[in-house]
Amino acid sequence: MTDLRSKEIHDEIDGDTLHEECGVFGILGHPDAAALTALGLHALQHRGQEAAGIVTFDGKQFCTEKRMGLVGDHYTDPATLAKLPGFMSIGHTRYSTTGEVALRNVQPLFAELHEGGIAIAHNGNFTNGLTLRRQIISDGAICQSTSDTEVVLHLIARSKHASTTDRFADAIAQVEGGYSMLALTRTKLIAARDPHGIRPLVMGELDGKPIFCSETCALDIIGAKFVRDVENGEIIICEIQADGSISIDARKPVAPQPERLCLFEYVYFARPDSVVGGRNVYVARKNMGQNLAKEAPVEADVVVPVPDGGTPAAIGYAQQSGIPFELGIIRNHYVGRTFIEPTQQIRAFGVKLKHSANRAMIEGKRVVLVDDSIVRGTTSVKIVQMIRDAGAREVHVRVASPMIFHPDFYGIDTPDRDKLLANQHADLASMCRFIGADSLEFLSIDGLYEAVGGIKRDPKSPQFTDHYFTGDYPTRLLDQEGASNVRKLSVLASNG
């Protein structure tokens, strides 16, 4: 079984990228509900490779399968799908931020309520999750996991409202943060998105049946049509009627807020072929590269992406600058879940397990190295060194997003503040020396806003969530403010 140690090691090998918690998928009224959910989760696998879970309701009981590992390892064989009968299903693929690595914490979570069972899957994080948990426990409830999802289940169960929908809306109104959430009851599929729309959630349709999922790429794989984004602060309730038809109802239980999608979805998380907030991600990334070429040009022989994240921006940089785009770094595609707990001997090879320099494209050349972002900078150091070892004459690092100064509390796994490269150095020159490049430039925040949304940042009312760059958090951070008190909970360490 994977444990925390291997996660650390994976980070070491995998570079110092950020990780998002999850992807979600749900469908109502389709005979192939579980299989379609498995395919949708496979398309969302980039949002979390640690574990996946699917819950269906077959008219009599809720059925669930949860497994560590990739969707395709477990959910596509007849034996597993046979255990997930029914016309309605939600699923979840997970990378762990809150809570330990354990099957116990794998979503969706299920609870028996007075009015019947309910299963919930969510992507994101509550900024008042610990505060709520403390209240719930002091009121006499028991918590069996450390996940936000369990908090939502408790809030639903404790609501004074009669209907499940009202209870769900009541629960949603109490949580703060960034999230996309799906719930499955005996007759309903419910979708909800946080008031700022920080995390993405889209609605689709297949054979007339409603689908919700984190990104449009999960619609494309099964040939479903994109209908619309779930709006920020919106709850959409789909219900199977007695005649088999499906009613769709929407509501906004809390006061509307301006939408502010997370910029890191565009910079790194979302799949390039997805359309997030109406914008193709690949195009946004190419724009970042083009703007970067305008803001930070350099005389060079080749534009080389740090694969795979930096590739679209590198193509944009190359097209804008006229410098040829070349695969100067080759990625080993067989890293995956491999290298669990390697010896120190093996770990020392670090980035070379995943990347290797393509000497013929590097030797004697002036190289523009394009990456999507820099977090701790430790991987950049190794990659720049690798490029130099391959004989580069000059190495100019260009980063297609601004410097990261602040942690995230909306579902992105960020290192401690003082581990961030931008906080470890007084200025750009010092950073450049640290990573060993001849020059280093980051895309400006306005350059990023223009690449994604077409216009500069509005400082009074920013169009996107961008606190990691700017410190401007879209919500209050209740748990953080009282952190010292709240965290005093016994934590159950499980390896099950």
What part of residues 13-72 is at the interface with a second copy (CB under 8 A)? Answer: 32, 35, 38-39, 42-43, 45-46, 49, 53, 57, 61-67, 70-72
Q: Which is nearer to a second copy, 114 or 460 (CB)?
A: 114
Closest by CA position to 336, among listed 67, 72, 39, 66: 72
Among 208, 256, 258, 324, binds a second copy (CB under 8 A): 324
Place of tokens 């795979």: 308
* Binding residues with a second copy: total (CB under 8 A): 106
Q: Which is nearer to a second copy, 9 or 254 (CB)?
A: 9
Buried b vs exposed e over 173-210: b needs ≥16 C-beta within 10 Å? ebbbbbbbbbbbbbbbbbbbbbbbbbbbbbbbebeebb
Whether 87 and 162 have beta carbons less than 8 Å apart is answered as no
- Least Å from the CB of residue 430 to a second copy: 29
Pick out residues in 80-99 that bind a second copy (CB under 8 A): 81, 83
Pick out residues in 239-298 that bind a second copy (CB under 8 A): 271-273, 275, 280, 282-283
- Least Å from the CB of residue 45 to a second copy: 4
Q: Does 443 bind a second copy (CB under 8 A)?
A: no
User: What are the residues whose beta carbons fall under 8 Å from the beta carbon of 253, sequence distance 6 or more?
Assistant: 169, 170, 172, 173, 233, 235
Whether 284 and 260 have beta carbons less than 8 Å apart is answered as no
- DSSP letter, residue 324: P
Pick out residues in 343-382 that bind a second copy (CB under 8 A): 343, 345-346, 349, 352-353, 356-361
- Least Å from the CB of residue 204 to a second copy: 14
Pick out residues in 393-432 that bind a second copy (CB under 8 A): none
Q: Does 172 bind a second copy (CB under 8 A)?
A: no
Which region among 18-26, 250-258, 260-268, 317-325 touches a second copy (by CB under 8 A)?
A: 317-325
**What are the φ/ψ torsions at residue 477 (nearest 5 degrees)?**
-120, 75
Whether 262 sits among the annotated catalytic residues: the reply is no
The secondary structure of 434-469 as a DSSP string is HHT-SEEEE--HHHHHHHHHSS---TTS-SEE-HHH
In angstroms, how far apart are the furthest CA atoms of the chain? 73
Q: Which is nearer to a second copy, 225 or 476 (CB)?
A: 225
Q: Which is nearer to a second copy, 8 or 341 (CB)?
A: 341
Q: Which is nearer to a second copy, 43 or 267 (CB)?
A: 43
Cβ neighbours of 347 (radius 10 Å): 14
- Least Å from the CB of residue 445 to a second copy: 24
Q: Which of 22, 213, 262, 432 is catalytic?
A: 22
Binding track over 184-223 against a second copy, x by CB under 8 A: --x------------------------------x--xxx-
Whether 217 and 228 have beta carbons less than 8 Å apart is answered as no
Q: Does 439 bind a second copy (CB under 8 A)?
A: no
How far is 67 from 57, CA to CA, in rounded Å? 18
Classify the phi-psi angles of 493: left when phi > 0, otherwise alpha if psi is within -120 to 50, otherwise beta: beta
Q: How far apart are the first and last CA of the chain?
A: 8
Q: Which is nearer to a second copy, 220 or 234 (CB)?
A: 220
Among 170, 187, 297, 337, binds a second copy (CB under 8 A): 337
CA 228 remoteness from chain centre: 20
How far is 328 from 459, CA to CA, in rounded Å? 39
Which region among 154-162, 393-401, 424-432, 438-446 touches a second copy (by CB under 8 A)?
A: 154-162
Binding track over 104-123 against a second copy, x by CB under 8 A: x-x--xxxxxx-xx------
Consecutive H or E run containing 311:
helix 311-321
- Least Å from the CB of residue 432 to a second copy: 25
Closest by CA position to 91, among listed 129, 44, 125: 44
Q: Tokens for 368, please give them.
A: 């523009």
Q: Which is nearer to a second copy, 461 or 490 (CB)?
A: 490
Q: Tokens for 22, please give them.
A: 């999850």
Among 208, 256, 336, 454, binds a second copy (CB under 8 A): 336
Enumerate the active-site residues: 22
